[in-house]
Amino acid sequence: MNKYKKITLDGLIYQNPTFMLVLGTCPTLGLISSAFSSLGMGLTVLVILTLSNILISLLRKIIPNEVRIPCYIVIIATLVTFARMFLEKFVPDLYESLGGFLALIVVNCIILGRAEAFANKHTVLESTVDGLANGLGFTAAITVMGIICEFFGNGSLFGFKIMEFKMSMLATPAGAFLVYGICIAVFVYIIDAIERARRVKVNKLSRENLLKEAA
């Protein structure tokens, strides 16, 4: 159980694909001007990432090592083609707002990166958990930034008007870069602070133990 907890925490926080590894930046920067499209992008990537992790870890003993990257790309491209048809038919709003970035999920580094770094070495169950955790980490990060950008840049949330005040610069790519940069800095700062606090606590505990032993 401990193993799965570690995979989940790594995907969500310590190895968060968006904030810690800074992967899959193109769709993030392109779509966070609207909370709806960033949530949609996150969920699409979550589904494709989980499915590709499952398929690749099922096939990991069959795929020859020399041609593994082309094989992964074909698997991912097939999944993306399915996702595109599905969205075009059932969620046309989202299909419109994602635009070109839907096809570009094929070259999203998160999916290929997890296939290469995790799914081809681990069992199906572990890969599924890893895909879900990383996908959720990406979805959470991109949605939080989407909400910030849309709220301050457009005065609305998921398309509903909330206030008149707006800084339209935050709804442009320039604002996306700014918000993304600040979010990474805040995230790294918080993680560092937590780690430091934990280290101090551990040091204090071990010093007390030593003192007790000495007494």
Residues at the site binding another protein, with contacts judged by CB under 8 A: 22-23, 25-26, 29-30, 69-70, 73-74, 77-78, 80-81, 84-85, 100, 103-104, 106-107, 109, 112, 169, 172-178, 180-182, 184-186, 188-189, 192
Shortest distance, CB of residue 215 to another protein, whole angstroms? 39
Give just the sign of the alpha carbon dihedral 73, 6, 126, 80: negative
* Distance from C-alpha of 214 to C-alpha of 169, rounded to nearest angstrom: 62
In the complex with another protein, the residue whose CB is nearer, 22 or 200, is 22
Shortest distance, CB of residue 198 to another protein, whole angstroms? 18
In the complex with another protein, the residue whose CB is nearer, 20 or 54, is 20
In the complex with another protein, the residue whose CB is nearer, 7 or 145, is 145
In the complex with another protein, the residue whose CB is nearer, 197 or 205, is 197
